[in-house]
A and B are shown apart, each in its own frame.
Chain A
Amino acid sequence: MAKSGDGIRILQGLLVFGNVIIGMCGIALTAECIFFVSDPHGLYPLLEATENDDIYAAAWIGIFVGFALFALSILGIVGVIKSNRTLLLVYIILMLITYAFEMASCITAATQRDFLTPNLFLKQMLERYNKSEADNNNDKWMAEGVTKTWDELMLQKHCCGVRGPSDWQEYTSTFRSRHKDADFPWPRNCCVMDAQGSPVNLDGCKLGVPGYYNSNGCYDAISGPMNTQAWGVAWFGFAILCWTFCVLLGTMFYWSRIEY
């Protein structure tokens, strides 16, 4: 020991405690990101069709970073208790790399959140919903994903369009080019359905009688889960990184105090 005083002992204790917290947070981050990647709300096809699904990339990085943090925290605890210079050097270097990855993940998630506006989903819905002719396979795949997702969304969350059923009236769309306005002012799934999956009152739905059609927009149902995911990855990662910053500084200081 360089200085066998209480100071070093306290520093050791603090570093072990810090690493324990990092380990637990790493597991929590992995679990949280696995939850997001599993897409419980079924909104991934909408994101995929924007051709910019960085929020999911950030969650994937989060899974591996969380696991790396857990493994490195164990290494750190062993290194601190044994006061082994080599172990701690390896720990510091690997931690810096993990730090960089997690930083990338947080910034990506936060930036992507700003990209997802109501207009983006509106345009995507109008372009791709019910699209039959596609330019290529990829396009066809995305259109099918968007159509299926919107159908389920409108059915389960009792909503219609992004801001409301008037979206289908205000703008031209692929749907409008395939279905006449008089028969389908808005898609069938905007109607209130009975248990068998057919509209309760089709004429009432076409007329827009409140109670027979869904008059509110789906944007809240989309942005709610996506916000949770973006904030969950970005800000929880940020909190972990702030704590890791302190632990790393302490470890560097401890490393410099160890005798050769």
Chain B
Amino acid sequence: DKLSYKPKLSMASPTLGGLTTSSTFTLEQPRCVFTSLQDDVIIWLVVAIPKAVPNFNNSVKPGSPEREFQKFPTGAGAYMTLNTTLFNYPCPKPPGEIAVLRVGSETSCAEDNTRPTCNGPLPGPGPYQVKFLALNDSNPVAETAWSDRITLRTARQLSSIPTTGSGRSAGMIALTSILSILFAILLAVPVAMLVFRGSNACGGSSSFSKPEAVTVRRYNTHHVYDQPAARL
């Protein structure tokens, strides 16, 4: 019978960092969804491209050439994987447990044709649609609804990262201009001193005041001999 449950990406909180990568995605486990199943019924996950969804045949055996992972998506419109019994989806879900299914995590069997039900990395960014299908000896017993389209991440080229500088910061401009001005002053002062010293103007005038500071006192011999005579 057809259940109304729609598989969806894991809603674990806080969000998983690897919820979707470029070749994997993570679904919630279908806990408490299949309620009236026998113990030996196997629940499969069907991964399909949207084109193969409308005329999907539930009776095709998993692993048959139409359902081989290695031929997906060009040779086979869908594949089936992650087969397990209801035992692995216990109900109710204990609180705090992260119950997820990582689609695409088995890299070892991705090229192995003897493993057509491999849970291998998805070949492209999608989009994909999934559903759960319960089979009892290849007879479909129950199925969920198809999920919404799941698109994986596409990586941008690293050459597209712009590395041109962010321009000059204000601090650097201030530093450069102030230092340049100070240095210019330091060079200009001795030059100015030399120029003014040559033109005999102010500045080092104290050294030129030397001749005036020393006065030669001339003794007038007449004057000296005259004075005692005047007194006497």
Point out residues on A near B: beta carbons under 8 Å: 2-3, 92, 96, 99-100, 103, 106-107, 110-111, 113-115, 117, 119-120, 122-123, 126-127, 165-166, 169-173, 176, 180-183, 185, 203, 206-210, 213, 215, 234-235, 238, 241-242, 245, 248-249, 252, 256-257, 259-260
Contacts and interface: CB of A to CB of B under 8 A. Distances in A.
B213 to A, nearest CB: 11
Given A114-B165, A119-B161, A182-B105, A209 B183 contact: no
B24 A172 contact: no
B98 A209 contact: yes
Given A166-B17, A182-B21, 5 more contacts: A103-B180, A170-B153, A207-B16, A256-B204, A257-B204
28 contacts: A2-B206, A96-B186, A99-B183, A99-B186, A107-B176, A107-B179, A110-B169, A111-B172, A119-B161, A171-B155, A171-B157, A176-B155, A180-B23, A180-B121, A181-B121, A183-B107, A207-B17, A209-B16, A210-B17, A238-B178, A241-B179, A241-B182, A242-B178, A245-B185, A245-B186, A249-B185, A256-B204, A259-B210
- Most A CB contacts (10 A, CB to CB) among B17, B24, B162, B185 go to B17
B178 to A, nearest CB: 8
Contact of A208 (B18, B23, B172, B186): B18
A169 B25 CA distance: 13
A165 B17 CA distance: 8
Nearest to A166: B17
Contacts of B182: 241-242, 245
A113 B161 CA distance: 19
B203 interface: yes
Contacts of A185: 17-18, 21, 24
Interface of B: 12, 14, 16-19, 21-24, 26, 98, 100, 102, 104-107, 120-121, 153, 155-158, 160-163, 165-169, 171-172, 175-176, 178-180, 182-183, 185-187, 189-190, 193, 203-204, 206-207, 210
